Structure 1
Amino acid sequence: MSLAAVTLLLGATTHVFSNAWLMLTDRSNVIPAESSILWFEPYVINQGASNYWLYGKDRTNYYHFAHMEQALYLYLPINNSCPGFDRENIRTWCNVRIGKHH
């Protein structure tokens, strides 16, 4: 398989290029340690001066960029049983886990 074909395949089947762009253009962007540059998908982006992600997901977890002293981000499994769960509202998340600092 040629390098061009591999590059096209990566771009078509993963989030590697969009994640790399976010990380290059805004240093506050991080990929959660529990995820990967291939599978992490930001689905809510801050619309202010910085374009960091607010909410994201991968194959197993939802993530919320908290940027707090205690935690850079919070996460919980996609298969959760939080009553009234809304993936775009951290107040509806239950039993959240604290993300690792890089």
Structure 2
Amino acid sequence: MPHHFRIARFAIAGALFAIAAFAVVGTTTPALSNAWLMLTDRSNILPAESSIVSFEPYVINQGSSNYWVYGKDRTNYYHFAHTEQALYVYVPVSNTCPGFDQRNIHTWCNVRIGKRH
């Protein structure tokens, strides 16, 4: 088989592999939706303690901006505070806050301040 056919087959196989990997990441993680949120609204940030692959927003602002209000990953719950003191705060998933409600910041105890970007 001529050399250029082998190169073409290798390029096609590489492209198919890339498409398959993209599809797997897109369907098994929130990475694509996180990327979309960050591209479409500049006020969106990802918590420094999390990652684009593991961060899952579960409450989105319903106003003109589509930033996340509450999110989580395997280790923490996050609240987008957007104040001078803190851009976001977080609490461990394994917290012992009495009456903890992941959708109500007022029930969170011992919150930690997220890192500024």
The answer to whether the superposition gives a TM-score over 0.5 is: yes
Secondary structure of 1:55's aligned partner: strand
Superposition TM-score, scaled by structure 2 size: 0.85
Measured on the aligned residues, the alpha-carbon RMSD in Å equals 0.8
Percent identical among aligned pairs is 72
1:52 partnered with 2:76: no
Residues 3-57 of structure 1, C-alpha deviation per residue, up to 9 Å, x if partnerless?
1110111011111100000000000000000000000000000001111000000
Q: Identify the residue that residue 36 of structure 1 maps to in structure 2.
A: 51
More strand, by proportion: 1
Q: Distance in 1 between matches of 2:43 and 2:92?
A: 24
Gaps of 5+ in 1: none
Helix, strand or coil at the partner of 2:46: coil
Q: CA deviation at 1:86?
A: 0.2
Give the structure 1 partner of residue 13 of structure 2. Answer: none
Q: Which runs of 5+ in 2 are unaligned?
A: 1-15
Name 2:32's counterpart in structure 1.
17
2:89 is aligned to 74
The code of the aligned residue for 1:59 comes to R
Structure number with bigger Rg = 2
Higher helix share: 2
Question: Aligned equivalents of 1:25 and 1:101: distance in 2?
Answer: 21
- Runs of 4+ aligned residues of structure 1 deviating over 2 Å after TM superposition are none
